Structure 1
């Protein structure tokens, strides 16, 4: 393999990921004509058609897909080996890409990232907020943070937060008009504030547990929101019952603007975990982040 071949293979993956020569060329910082020439030369050398080109998109052929299956783990391994060389620097350096839910980012990740970047000026951290469970391998993240019960079995998961509890809350003014629910099934007679996942567009189904009995309830109401702060504001204003984590509504419960119901149906559950691919070789910077998160647990 000639030295230019590695560059051509990386360009090929960029075209596949972007599904466009124009976007791939912009991402790589080269001209579209140079990228097209490199792809033609790669196909000629292999004697195979790797890409199907149309006026609207670019997609890999069967041979292209076989090449992708070979390239991704090989280049990922090379990348991890290069990253591991940073341990020989006097100061930690490198970039980490993370994905987390908004709640996990604010309560678990941000306090650690804030201090870590202050103490290590050569570290760069990209944090993307996503509500769904992200395929960190396909999306090229170093790690993600989600609830332990939602993680794939082929991931390494490290607990980085305490157990959590949910809270069913409503304003005193709301309960002057409605009876207090005694069981989760009573919520069918109440106006509830729904949460919609940004990632897949689905509505969150409220989950309860008591003495080993699990209940999942689809609730209804006038409002569907995707931000916890707006859900709290709506509940305080008397628009209905909300379902959030204890820490999100602790202030409102303390000052009496919200009251809690169905407390006995909200048992603790597994908290946040940092998860990453089992085949990933942790870089020194990643290890530094992981140790900081463990120390804060």
Structure 2
């Protein structure tokens, strides 16, 4: 393999990861036309089609996927070697791909991203907001952020938030028109703001008290995908919302929302950064984890 083919393989891997020539070119700082030429030249030299191209997407062919599975570890080792070299000079570097729910990005990362990137100017962060659980190895992420209880046992998890509690809350105006529920079953008589995940499923309203778990089938005229809209709708009297306490601390403190059924919402482990236990720790990922890990009680 010559140096040109090595470069072409790196371009191919970037296109496959981003599913886009333009995004790959942006990552590699080359023109989309140069990306396309590199992939075409690689396909021609190998005599096999590696990417299936349509007007809307770029996906690896069966042969391309097989090559990626063997290629990815080798490219990762090269990246780690280069990053380790920089790290010996006190400069963690490289691109980190992180998957996290949008509101976790908003609340846990966004307020500190400027400080992190100023501290580590040679690190590039790519953050993908996804509600569902992602196979970070298969999807090419370095790490993910999810609730601790949803992380697979073969992953290493590091806390990035304190323990959290769910909150059932409505506005003062809503409770002027409706009695406060005294038991989760009372929610069937209330307008509840439902939340739909990107996979189409609806978020379940789960409760626990004295070791007893209860799931309530709620109903209401509003279904949202993002929790930000649920908060705004609840503040403006549209109904009751089911949220994490860290998401509505300010609204509760300001009296814009009133909390109910608090004794049915016990604390449970919060959010963690997770990554594969079998993967060698990149200096950039170590820097990211050390910066964002939760250090409170």
- TM superposition score normalised by structure 1: 0.82
Which digits, 9 at most, give the CA deviation of each residue in 1:54-101, with x for residues without a partner? 87776524x554433322223223322322222122444433232222
Determine the structure 1 residue equivalent to 2:249: 250
CA positional deviation for 1:288: 2.0
Aligned mates of 2:151, 2:113 — CA distance in 1: 23
Are the aligned partners of 2:51 and 2:59 in contact in 1 as well (CA < 8 Å)? yes
Match of 2:107 in 1: 107
SS at match of 2:199: coil
3-state SS in 2 of match to 1:176: helix
Partner of 2:69: 69
Alignment of 1:214-225 (within 5 A): 214-225=213-224
Residue 46 (structure 1) aligns with: none
- The Cα offsets for residues 177-205 of structure 1, whole Å up to 9 and x where unpaired, read as 333323222212211011222x3232211
Q: Which moved more, 1:280-289 or 1:203-212?
A: 280-289
The 3-state SS of whatever aligns with 2:293 is: helix
- Contact 1:158 / 1:273 at 8 angstroms: preserved in 2? yes
Q: Is the 8 A contact 1:16 1:60 kept in 2?
A: no
For residue 11 of structure 1, report the CA deviation from its aligned partner. 4.6
Give deviations 1:173-230, integer Å, cap 9, x for gaps: 3233333323222212211011222x32322111211111222233211111233333
| Separation (CA, whole Å) in 2 of partners of 1:286 and 1:177 | 51
Check conservation: 2:205, 2:242, Cα contact below 8 A: yes
Q: SS of the residue aligned with 2:248? A: helix
Q: Distance in 2 between matches of 1:25 and 1:171?
A: 46
Q: Which residue of 1 aligns with 2:45?
A: 41
Which aligned pairs between 1:134-149 and structure 2 lie closer than 5 A? Answer: 134-149=134-149
Give the superposed CA RMSD: 3.0
Larger radius of gyration: 1
Aligned residue pairs: how many? Answer: 289
3-state DSSP of counterpart to 2:68: helix
Structure 2 gaps, min length 5? none
- State the 1:161 CA deviation: 1.5
CA contact (8 A) 1:8 1:42 kept: no
- For normalisation by structure 2, the TM-score amounts to 0.82
Q: Which sections of structure 1, spanning at least 5 residues, go unmatched?
A: 44-48
1:161-240 alignment to 2 at 5 Å? 161-197=161-197, 199-240=198-239
- The CA distance in 1 between the partners of 2:216 and 2:7, in whole Å, is 53
Provide the C-alpha distance between the structure 1 equivalents of 2:293 and 2:168, rounded to a whole number of angstroms.
Answer: 30
Over 3 Å counting, the alpha-carbon distance change for 1:26 and 1:108 in structure 2 is: closer
Distance 1:239 1:52 in 2: 48
C-alpha displacement of 1:163: 0.4
Deviation at 1:40, TM superposition (A): 1.9
Residue 18 of structure 1 deviates from its aligned partner by 6.4
Answering whether residue 266 of structure 2 is matched by residue 267 of structure 1, we say: yes
